[in-house]
Chain A
Amino acid sequence: MTAHTATSAAGRGVAALSAALRERRSGLRRNDFTRTALECWIGRVDGLEQAPLPAGYASLDCRNNRLAWAGLTQDGFLEQALAAVQRYGAGRVAIVLGTSTASIGATEEGYRELADDGVFLPAYRDFVLHTPHSLVTFVQRVLGARGPACTVATACSSSAKVFAQAERLIRLGWADAAVVGGVDTLCDSVLFGFNALQLVSPQPCRPFDAGRNGISIGEAAGFALLERGGNAAGAAQLLGWGESSDAHHMSSPHPQGRGARQAIAGALQRAGLDAADIGYINLHGTATPANDAVEAAVVADLFPAQTRASSTKGWTGHTLGAAGIVEAVACLIALEQGFIPGTLNCSEPDPLCGPQLALDNEAAAPQVALSSSFGFGGNNAALIFGRGGRA
């Protein structure tokens, strides 16, 4: 993995996210996004309203692609991705990005401004803008890549699963490099949708706290560049991934976390590691009563007491389809900078939590980190990253 970046309410780029984590400075604020009042906290990225896409991309302009652009232009990621396209050839660079709702905010806008006869105004008639593939279409045009391109839209596991799909593409010879990641933006669909499911907290989310009462929704963009043999120069590595399905319920996790366990076991097996090898776990930790109860029990059961685990959603909010990549970047920060972010807003942990849960930030130098992501439809993914310099 030769480049990575993340932009969220906790800041633009890796240094900003890292500083927010170290200083325990949350990016959450009271909801100032929806036209109809909704009492909740959100992780909003400032400045997108004043930052249209560069000339030439006007037909793809929407909040989601503006955030994609803001994310691509941090940490020198765009230059490194363009250099990879140059180095390998446009047809040998794949783009696999995750999103839950992509540009649906633009569709929502179109519906608020319908013409008298009930059709979209001309500005809203671009077909791709009303599909999940608008994000990949935009990033592919920016990079000029012409290899395999695919959108993964499995709700909150989307931008974790992209690592598995891209790794297969590279290992089986269909690409030499891949841009992976994901982008999701605040929109009415998710704010009022999760509200309808009674999963949104009126307060800042409190992952794993005994008194937690729901998620805070955030927006984020994150990207990573995977290259064949990209273990040169001390770059962090993707060591393993696991995928599974709960086969249980559309919007509630399996009560014993069967799917979560299978995804974690699959990732460990692929990496050739034991649970005891994992130094840090970035948990899905959404702060819904159900998710955190199941996940707390799974981690307490599978991992030794010295493994450190935390949820960083108190900083960013739940960034849905972008959560996988943002939390992968949080794992890389832990590996590269040698510290464990704690669990912001958790003051009294649920008794189900094991000794693994880190509340305060801790100084440690994990060699291997695991990130888990679980989505609606019972869709699970786990990723394992190794610190640069490992064999």
Chain B
Amino acid sequence: MSALQLRIAGIGVYAPGLPDWPQAGRALRGESVPDTSSLARPAPPLLPAAERRRAPETVLYAAQAAAEACAMAQCEPAGLPCVFSSTQGDIAITDYMCATLASAPLELSPTKFHNSVHNAAVGYWSIATGCEQASTAVSCWIHSFGAGLLEAALQVADTQAPVLLVAYDAAAAGALRSAIPFDCGFAVALVLAPAGQGSGPQLSLTPAEPGPASLPRADWAQALIARNACADALALLQALAGAQPVQLRIAAGGEFALSAQVQP
């Protein structure tokens, strides 16, 4: 089996203390220590004003990171197939739904219901950007970043054209806090392109022998992984921010991992 050979054409980040890729890159190179205590509601440039006001947080996080990655890649979002990946989608909406269903099911909000689907973020994104390409919403529990990365990379290999990957999760809410350990939002977006096209670091993916996933160096970065599973991406982002070739293991399932070779 041949390795998936890719180029990272664009990167976007929206996470506590990491409001965009340039600042995340500096922090991951050890040039600054981010304040990861809070995350403001973003106003993603590509969403209409009404959606910026009323859309669920996960939609905003995902769209903010996606818009940054598309801009860096100089790709028109309408032309990019989308792979959106998330452990649980919008937990605050699940909390609202389940609390309302337990008390007054006939009063359930129709808007909250259609916003509760796992593909809400990619749905809003495709509507806002006029993207009629294939779009998908996947989940692989706490390995959703790696599983989404594999699916996006396979689509790139299949079509020999760029694909947008976005991985995002939100803080747990309500009673779900007693089961889901996430306490902050986190979104990361990559525009993946065939290795032979454009500029940007090279990424090669093959299946890895099972073993522990690579971790980012900094304490704050490792702490973020415990606070939101999509922060799994920080090990790859650290490699992309660096100047040296790096070999990583990225969890992509309970017993499945990717071996990633990064050539900045």
Contacts and interface: CB of A to CB of B under 8 A. Distances in A.
Interface of A: 34, 36, 38, 91, 100, 104, 107-108, 110-112, 114, 118-120, 124-133, 136-137, 140, 146-155, 161, 164-165, 168-169, 171-174, 188-189, 192-198, 243-251, 258-259, 262, 375-379
Contacts of B113: 189, 192-194, 196-197
B175 interface: yes
Contacts of B180: 127, 130-131
B123 A173 contact: no
A259 B175 CA distance: 38
B181 A127 contact: yes
A376 B89 CA distance: 15
B101 A147 contact: no
B11 to A, nearest CB: 23
B117 A148 contact: no
Contacts of B175: 110-111, 114, 118-120
Given A119-B175, A174-B207, A155 B117 contact: yes
B105 A197 contact: no
Contacts of B158: 168, 171-172
B48 to A, nearest CB: 13
Contact of B127 (A165, A248, A375): A248
B106 A192 contact: yes
A375 B136 CA distance: 11
Given A137-B254, A148-B256, A248-B127, A193 B140 contact: no
Given A107-B176, A169-B154, A250-B124, A36 B105 contact: yes
A199 to B, nearest CB: 9
B106 A152 contact: no
Interface stretch (B34-42, B91-99, B183-191, B232-240): B91-99
Given A131-B87, A192-B105, A168 B155 contact: yes
The 7 closest A-B pairs by CB, nearest first: A377-B123, A153-B118, A173-B1, A193-B113, A243-B134, A119-B178, A111-B98
A132 B139 contact: yes
5 contacts: A140-B253, A147-B256, A173-B2, A193-B97, A377-B124
Interface in B129-158: 129-142, 144, 147, 150-151, 154-155, 157-158
A137 B137 CA distance: 17
A251 B176 CA distance: 26
B165 interface: no
A148 B254 CA distance: 9
Contact of B207 (A91, A126, A165): A91
Interface of B: 1-2, 4, 78, 82, 87-89, 94, 97-99, 101-102, 105-106, 108-110, 113-120, 122-124, 126-127, 129-142, 144, 147, 150-151, 154-155, 157-158, 174-181, 207, 210, 252-256
A247 B176 contact: no
Given A132-B139, A153-B139, A192-B105, A245 B178 contact: no
Contact of A247 (B1, B131, B139, B154): B131
Contacts of B176: 107, 120, 130
A141 B154 CA distance: 25
Nearest to B258: A148
Given A120-B179, A192-B108, A150 B138 contact: yes
Which of A91, A130, A168, A249 has its CB near the most chain B CB atoms (within 10 A)? A130
Contacts of B133: 244-245
Contacts of A258: 132
Tell me which of B108, B155, B157 has the highest count of chain A C-beta atoms within 10 A of its own C-beta.
Answer: B108
A391 to B, nearest CB: 23
Contacts of B174: 118
Given A130-B176, A155-B117, A197-B114, A149 B140 contact: yes
A245 B134 contact: yes
Nearest to B121: A377
Contact of B154 (A38, A112, A174, A375): A174
Given A120-B178, A193-B110, 20 more contacts: A107-B98, A111-B101, A125-B179, A127-B181, A130-B179, A130-B180, A149-B147, A152-B138, A153-B139, A154-B119, A172-B158, A189-B97, A193-B108, A193-B116, A245-B131, A246-B126, A262-B132, A376-B123, A378-B127, A379-B135
A129 to B, nearest CB: 8
Nearest to B81: A243
A377 B147 contact: no
Contact of B134 (A38, A110, A192, A244): A244
B139 A131 contact: yes
A295 B109 CA distance: 27
A36 B103 CA distance: 10
Contacts of A168: 154-155, 157-158
A375 B134 CA distance: 13
Contacts of A155: 117-119
A376 B117 contact: yes
